[in-house]
Amino acid sequence: MTDQPRQNLTGLDLIAEIARLKRERNAVILAHYYQRPELQDLADFVGDSLELSRKAAATDADVIAFCGVKFMAETAKILAPEKIVVLPDMEAGCSLEDSCPPDDFAAFRALHPDAIALTYINCSAEVKALSDVIVTSSSAETILAQIPREQKIIFGPDRHLGGYLNRKFDREMILWPGVCIVHEAFSETELLKLKAQHPGAPVAAHPECPPHIIDHADYVGSTSGILNFAKTMGGDTLIVATEPHIIHQMQKAVPAKHFIGAPGADGNCNCNICPYMALNTVEKLYLALRDLEPRIEMDEELRLAAKRSLDKMLELASGTVGKGDLGRA
How many residues sit in the footprint of ligand 13P (CB under 6 A)? 11
Quick one: DSSP state of residue 263?
Answer: P
Q: Is 122 in the site for ligand 13P (CB under 6 A)?
A: yes
Q: Are 242 and 207 in contact (CB under 8 A)?
A: no
Of the candidates 33, 90, 84, the residue with the CA atom closest to the CA atom of residue 59? 84
Taking CB under 6 A as the rule, which mask of x and - marks residues 203-222 in contact with ligand 13P? Answer: ---x-x-------------x
Residue 120: CB minimum distance to ligand 13P, A: 9
Contacts of 241 (CB under 8 A, 6+ apart): 183, 186, 191, 203, 204, 205, 206, 209, 213, 217, 262
Q: Which is nearer to ligand 13P, 34 or 286 (CB)?
A: 34
Which of ligand SF4, ligand 13P, none has residue 95 at its interface (CB below 5 to 8 Å by kind)? ligand SF4
Q: How many whole angstroms separate alpha carbon 246 and alpha carbon 168?
A: 25
Which of ligand SF4, ligand 13P, none has residue 49 at its interface (CB below 5 to 8 Å by kind)? ligand 13P
Residue 224: CB minimum distance to ligand 13P, A: 7
Residue 300: CB minimum distance to ligand 13P, A: 27
Which of ligand SF4, ligand 13P, none has residue 36 at its interface (CB below 5 to 8 Å by kind)? none
Q: How many whole angstroms separate alpha carbon 243 and alpha carbon 80?
A: 28
Q: How many whole angstroms separate alpha carbon 70 and alpha carbon 193?
A: 36
Q: Which is nearer to ligand 13P, 93 or 101 (CB)?
A: 93
Q: How many whole angstroms separate alpha carbon 21 and alpha carbon 256?
A: 36
Q: How many whole angstroms separate alpha carbon 46 and alpha carbon 178?
A: 26
Residue 302: CB minimum distance to ligand 13P, A: 22
Q: How many whole angstroms separate alpha carbon 202 and alpha carbon 238?
A: 5
Residue 113: CB minimum distance to ligand 13P, A: 30
Residue 59: CB minimum distance to ligand 13P, A: 18
Q: Is 320 in the site for ligand 13P (CB under 6 A)?
A: no
Which of ligand SF4, ligand 13P, none has residue 137 at its interface (CB below 5 to 8 Å by kind)? ligand 13P
Strand partners, 26: none
Cβ neighbourhood burial of 237 (10 Å; 0-12, 13-18, 19+): middle
**Binding residue (CB under 6 A) for ligand 13P from 21, 180, 306, 313:** 180
Q: Is 272 in the site for ligand 13P (CB under 6 A)?
A: no
Helix, strand, coil percentages for the chain (3-state, nearest 5): 45, 15, 40
Q: Which is nearer to ligand SF4, 96 or 227 (CB)?
A: 96
Contacts with ligand 13P, residue ranges (CB under 6 A)? 48-49, 122, 136-138, 180, 206, 208, 222-223
